[in-house]
């Protein structure tokens, strides 16, 4: 609660500082350095053997950059760029970079930088080569479904034992927010912020589960989905008490570091086993609430939360809609085949302390591609091409594995984030898909 208040105060201070700047110096409506990078194919998609070029346009205060301004760049398969840089120059505010081509489906990346406005301007652009033909390198174990059916069955033997704590700062005349503590496995607990429309009638609300992105930081409540008449639960996956002060919480957070590798030696001991099953139990909890309409169960999240969205929708018999954004944990073995894989990039040459390749025996049971193959419910997925956390190659591998009804929103210029328009499209899709 204290952290929530501190965050709110910080936002107020930042807002006040911005208002003071505007009063003194005016309100800039554009960046001083305006720039755009445009591939020669407007949709950033190519067929193998076609050549991709990138046109950079840049202006300082509306004036083209001086002729001769140097651009350094390097191009290659995504996440596997060469060490050496090439260079070209701006002429009349434009510079042209030849990115090259690919002979197989995948993504080509260009990292570039130049000086303008007194600062180093840098960006990463990726383009796709026949992405609809990208296949996963992840094998589906013969006992995959049986393994997870048993894991969920064991988790469901444990009573959820929900404990509720009021959150006055996120409760008002429209919504009621509580912090809930759930027993989701034999030795697994999760916290979550539960927000419900105040005075919602019994059986009137769809329910929405939002798993978290990677890491072990605090989570925060939101009224985004409750404003749509939905009951919302945002969970964390480590069992860290959200009521602790900063020092206490930081101590817990440090204990979670490296969780994505814990127990990776075996499918039975890997950290994510209890997490995956625990997300199913979080759905069970939502479906136990009196407000649930008995028909609509939505799961949505981004990055690790996107991965857990697909996993939960595949494992839970209650989920009716699946809406992941740029999911992690997809096609994890891609790096072993000289192709970009998904976060946590275990086998990337840049990963610190990569596990032994034998870990792939475990990871086949956790790779999100294998859960994407199991999906049966309508799915909306959104991702960008300039993402260097969850590679678009790995996301496409998961997307191509889905045989359920699906709709995508691809925004090539976005990275490991989403445009507001993508969220709006997702919400419209959700509302169109709701069961009466």
Catalytic residues: 303, 387, 416
Q: Which residues does 302 contact at the CB level (< 8 Å), separation at least 6?
A: 213, 324, 325, 326, 327, 418
**CA pair distance 310, 148, nearest whole angstrom:** 14
Count H helices, E strands: the chain?
9, 18
For residues 53 and 40, what is the distance between their CA atoms, to the nearest angstrom? 6
Q: What's the rounded Cα separation, in Å, for the pair 82 and 60?
A: 30
Q: Which helix (H) or strand (E) holds 182?
A: strand 175-185
| 423, HSE (Cβ side, Cα atoms, 13 Å) | 8
CB 59 within 8 A of CB 93: yes
Name the DSSP class of 358: G
CA distance 242 to 168: 14
Whole-angstrom distance, CA of residue 158 vs CA of residue 281: 9
d(C-alpha 265, C-alpha 365), whole Å: 12
């Amino acid at each position: 609660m204290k952290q929530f208040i501190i965050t709110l105060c910080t936002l107020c201070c930042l807002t006040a500082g911005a208002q003071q700047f505007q009063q003194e110096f005016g309100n800039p409506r554009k960046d001083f350095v305006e720039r755009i990078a445009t591939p020669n194919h407007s949709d950033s998609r190519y067929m193998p053997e076609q050549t991709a070029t990138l046109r950079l346009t840049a202006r300082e205060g509306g004036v083209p950059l001086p002729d001769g301004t140097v651009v350094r760049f390097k191009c290659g398969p995504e996440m596997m760029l060469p060490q050496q840089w090439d260079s070209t120059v701006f002429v009349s505010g434009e510079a042209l970079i030849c990115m090259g081509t690919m002979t197989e489906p995948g993504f080509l990346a260009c990292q570039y930088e130049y000086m303008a406005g007194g600062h180093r301007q840098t960006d990463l652009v990726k383009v796709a080569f026949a992405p609809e033909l990208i296949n996963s390198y992840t094998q589906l174990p013969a006992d995959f479904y049986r393994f997870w059916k048993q894991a969920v069955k064991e988790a469901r033997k444990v009573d959820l034992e929900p404990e509720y704590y009021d959150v006055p700062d996120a409760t008002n005349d429209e919504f009621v927010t509580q912090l809930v503590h759930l027993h989701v496995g034999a030795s697994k607990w999760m916290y979550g912020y539960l927000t419900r429309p105040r005075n919602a009638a019994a059986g009137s609300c769809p329910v929405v589960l939002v798993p978290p992105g990677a890491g072990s930081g605090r989570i925060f409540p939101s009224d985004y989905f409750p404003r749509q008449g939905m009951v919302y639960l945002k969970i964390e996956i480590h069992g860290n008490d959200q009521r602790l002060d900063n020092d206490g919480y930081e101590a817990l957070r440090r204990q979670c570091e490296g969780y994505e590798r814990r127990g990776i030696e075996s499918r039975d001991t890997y950290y994510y086993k209890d997490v995956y099953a625990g997300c199913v139990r979080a759905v069970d909890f939502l479906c136990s609430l009196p407000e649930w309409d008995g028909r609509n169960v939505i799961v949505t999240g981004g990055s690790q939360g996107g991965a857990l969205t697909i996993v939960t929708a595949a494992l839970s018999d209650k989920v009716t809609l699946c809406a992941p954004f740029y999911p992690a944990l997809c096609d994890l073995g891609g790096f072993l085949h000289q192709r970009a894989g998904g976060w946590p990039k275990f086998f990337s040459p840049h990963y610190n302390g990569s596990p032994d390749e034998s870990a792939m025996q475990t990871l086949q049971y956790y790779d999100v591609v294998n859960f994407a193959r199991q999906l049966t419910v309508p799915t909306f997925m959104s991702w960008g091409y300039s993402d260097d956390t969850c590679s678009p190659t790995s996301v496409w591998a998961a997307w191509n594995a889905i045989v359920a009804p699906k709709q995508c929103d691809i925004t090539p210029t976005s990275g490991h984030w989403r445009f507001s328009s993508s969220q709006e499209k997702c919400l419209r899709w959700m509302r169109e898909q709701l069961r009466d």
